[in-house]
Chains A and B, each alone.
Chain A
């Protein structure tokens, strides 16, 4: 055994010193990381250890004036995959493609990617995602994430589409009120910072921070869902009746406060699916269109034409000229026969025609001028008012100016500067030609005349409320200015009532109410590009209007013509009749519907033939049947139960053994009076449904089509010889 000597001990101590020195160096190194570099490293570590989940706020609801929901957010879910956690790529892709109905290859590509996350599908209903959840549990699928999200839903489909607008996939308002009130509706997103392990899985760390989202505020519109519904129904029908029509616009306002009760543009679209073009002609050739053509088609469809498109208002504007004439005391007695129509008027060397130049109106009072829509009367008035004064009023009414409504895309019209006004400019402006404005602008001017001369600011949103229903902000009604006197207002309304009761606006009459109105058939463009806008403005009750309606059809080209008094006035009449009832406006007078001559078809099916015959005979209907045995059961009838027929109309009865239907050709009824037309139809075993009086101008189904015997043919009659303008 050798003893350890001094040299060895020294070397051991040397080594001890070296090792301890290295350990000290390591402490210094750790000091560097844990003190000097600590905050940098902590930040980096934190950002990788947490994931920031944004929680979308719930977008505010849009209500109508009676709190009917027009737009709301619904919960949907988004499915994504974390590719590195997906073990069985093919199986996962197959399952997802089966449940979601997506392409297998596209999903397979996503699950095979080398990324941290791939979105598979957005905005899925929970019904669908629950199926995915079940499948994940059953098949023990890994790597699929399901997130909550919200989607904008418009429960009434295309209802109020152009006014509401729509939202994009990120729930951002892209058009209409959705876009205009984006900041109110959207709310503030919340966030949830979650700790995760390196595979992205959440881990139980307690200091997760959660900031709840702030939901968006809700809007209460001035729109009345019932009124809007009536308007859309009639507008849609008018588009069909007068096809082809470029487009139609209808706005309903309350003159007393400027509230927009309804606003519709046809054709419309479904804001739930705003990118699908609804025009069948465009949809048909969709795939052949270029991107810019597609964009243009969509933007056309989205336009709220009541505010985005302008037109020359035509004769409706004569109401404004009348008001100016009275206010300026050019006319004091509206019934004084101070004017005369020779079919034209020479202004600065130009002959400006009256629309009825073929049969001049002769001597006219202001009232008669309005009732007949006689151009020379108003040209004369305007010339007497003089350009300066006339334009002062146009300025005061806000003609051709933006009304300042909250509607997106509102434009102002074009009007001559007062400095450039000549005699002929003013003469044509007197009957609404030579300048443009929007339908809303026109209606708002009419409302000022109806509202004792007070011009209001049109209002579409009346209140902003929170989720508890508390009012956050009231948007008060706003009087812009008194433009004409109350007295003038009363006189003009009285004249407008004459237009409907005994003038060109007769078709707008509503049983039980006095209606004030004015027709218009306005020329748009000149020469070869000339088109017409048929228009009617109606207000009721005439002495103190609570509703005002403007109804415009752009370039209608059916055989029914393009006269506002002919094609728009009846629609406004129908609209007013329904909305006055909806709004519970007291009737001006009681009107008893004449029901003596009509009967409702009873249900005679499942009875014996004898019983059926007896029932029909008893209420005054005829029948026709090819069955001899009275004990056989009736299987069907034509027309069906519930239809209204005039007495002595025919009901075809069918039994089990005799169920053969016979066709017949619809005769051409145009030009016939009601009696002749009824007889003609009866000869063909057809029934008639009459509307209006006078001569038949329109029938449905049209002449020469083959229909089943017993079919009801709707025939529209018009008084012969009435000027409708």
Chain B
């Protein structure tokens, strides 16, 4: 391959402009997200912590750390990861996923063991796994792009990888992360050139598998039934989604006004978490909803544009992976909140409360920005 001066790998990238469109969209989303956390968490925060600002202060602190991390990472040449480092990363991610099951490290909430606690930081290893997997797939595919078209030697190994991760995640259990990781991996493989003749049967198997998975677990099947008619159990399993719809419906076209949500008064049990978009919908109405969805649309458009303009396949795949990761989480989160898919806890990127997750998220944006610095003009 021809090498240009531009493509020479160095740790620090200097004097190359990044994609300001993406940066601005991310900062706007983050700003709106923080305001929404403030509004959504105020009452909950007062009732649980005795301080209306407890959650927003923490989130703001992590946002600052995340932005610094994003800007630093944007200056590091992403290509240093196109190496054994990505293998090591994947290994670490797997170890962390296993650590979840180690008593004393794993943290269980609401019957799901999804967190680990290391040195006072609590986070979900699945977040690390998403990123590690993106680099791993990008590294291995870009090494030999043609190989992906081979079924057994190119395609199947990735299915095995997805399967291995899925098994660990489903043991937690963490359905939403499983789906997101599978979608990211499939999206990257698809973009890299996997054959439709391979993808479609696998897609069908996946769909059938998902149906079987849902049907065989009473818990998951109930979620499907509740999705079809939440009012059949309005005080029980349908409660959350109904409360979310009450919030959304109350918003109407213009919303009840910033900070004036009523549903945040514990009707939505943790209004600053996975259902935060319902609060935004209530306060800002359909116009606010369209604004945020448009911003995510712009984000996806800029992300894919960066992938298109990336100087190499690794960059393209990393950009695709990160864009899909953030985009698909936004889509799923909004879809759940609006009862467009069965309820499963998916935080809305840049909005939902969660410090470590926000830092990881912004760091990933940093990688996207780093790729954008190397864009071909």
Residues of A whose CB lies within 8 Å of any CB of B are 1-4, 7-9, 11-13, 15-16, 19-20, 22-23, 25-27, 29-31, 33-35, 37-38, 40-42, 44-45, 48-49, 195-199, 203, 205
Which candidate, B111-119, B125-133, B153-161, B294-302, is the interface stretch facing chain A? B294-302
Tell me if B245 is interfacial: C-beta within 8 Å of chain A.
Answer: yes
Tell me if B365 is interfacial: C-beta within 8 Å of chain A.
Answer: no
**When each residue 191-214 of chain B gets 1 if its CB lies under 8 Å from chain A and 0 otherwise, what string results?**
111000000000000000000000
**When each residue 313-327 of chain B gets 1 if its CB lies under 8 Å from chain A and 0 otherwise, what string results?**
110100010001001
Residues of B whose CB lies within 8 Å of any CB of A are 1, 3, 7, 43, 142, 145, 187, 190-193, 245-253, 260, 262-263, 265-267, 269, 281, 285-286, 289-290, 293, 296-297, 300-301, 304, 307-308, 310-314, 316, 320, 324, 327-328, 331, 334-335, 338-340
| A3 and B304 form a contact (CB under 8 A) | no
| A26 and B265 form a contact (CB under 8 A) | no
**From B263, B301, B316, contact of A8 by CB (8 A):** B316
A selection of 8 A-B contacts at a CB cut-off of 8 Å is A15-B191, A15-B320, A20-B297, A29-B338, A34-B252, A34-B253, A41-B248, A45-B249
Q: How many angstroms from the CA of A9 to the CA of B191 in the assembled complex?
A: 8
**Which residues on A sit within 8 Å (CB–CB) of B314?**
1
**Which residues on A sit within 8 Å (CB–CB) of B262?**
45, 49, 195, 203, 205
Q: How many angstroms from the CA of A44 to the CA of B238 in the assembled complex?
A: 14
- Number of A-B residue pairs, CB cutoff 8 Å, is 149
Q: How many angstroms from the CA of A19 to the CA of B7 in the assembled complex?
A: 30
| B334 and A2 form a contact (CB under 8 A) | no
**Which residues on B sit within 8 Å (CB–CB) of A33?**
245, 248-249, 338-339
Q: How many angstroms from the CA of A679 to the CA of B290 in the assembled complex?
A: 114
Give the shortest distance, in Å, between A195 (CB) and chain B (any CB): 6
Give the shortest distance, in Å, between A70 (CB) and chain B (any CB): 48
**Which residues on A sit within 8 Å (CB–CB) of B293?**
23, 26-27, 30
| B308 and A2 form a contact (CB under 8 A) | no
Could you tell me the dominant secondary structure of chain B's interface residues?
helix
| B304 and A13 form a contact (CB under 8 A) | yes
Give the shortest distance, in Å, between B72 (CB) and chain A (any CB): 25
Q: How many angstroms from the CA of A35 to the CA of B255 in the assembled complex?
A: 11
Measured CB to CB, the nearest residue on chain A to B79 is A1
Which one of A26, A33, A42, A197 has the greatest number of beta carbons of chain B within 10 Å? Answer: A33
Give the shortest distance, in Å, between B170 (CB) and chain A (any CB): 25
| B193 and A34 form a contact (CB under 8 A) | no
**Which residues on B sit within 8 Å (CB–CB) of A29?**
335, 338, 340
Q: How many angstroms from the CA of A203 to the CA of B191 in the assembled complex?
A: 51
**Which residues on B sit within 8 Å (CB–CB) of A48?**
246, 267
Q: How many angstroms from the CA of A571 to the CA of B233 in the assembled complex?
A: 75
**Which residues on A sit within 8 Å (CB–CB) of B7?**
1
Known pairs A2-B312, A196-B265. 19 more at Cβ < 8 A? Answer: A1-B313, A3-B1, A11-B193, A12-B307, A15-B304, A16-B304, A19-B297, A19-B328, A26-B335, A26-B338, A26-B340, A30-B338, A33-B339, A34-B248, A34-B286, A38-B252, A41-B248, A42-B250, A49-B267
Q: How many angstroms from the CA of A2 to the CA of B245 in the assembled complex?
A: 48
**Which residues on A sit within 8 Å (CB–CB) of B247?**
45
Q: How many angstroms from the CA of A534 to the CA of B327 in the assembled complex?
A: 101
Give the shortest distance, in Å, between A255 (CB) and chain B (any CB): 68
**Which residues on A sit within 8 Å (CB–CB) of B251?**
34, 38
**Which residues on A sit within 8 Å (CB–CB) of B245?**
33, 37, 41
| B307 and A45 form a contact (CB under 8 A) | no
**From B191, B267, B328, contact of A197 by CB (8 A):** B267
Give the shortest distance, in Å, between A12 (CB) and chain B (any CB): 5
**Which residues on A sit within 8 Å (CB–CB) of B250?**
38, 41-42, 45
| B265 and A38 form a contact (CB under 8 A) | no
The 5 tightest CB contacts between A and B, nearest first, are A41-B249, A197-B265, A45-B246, A198-B266, A16-B304
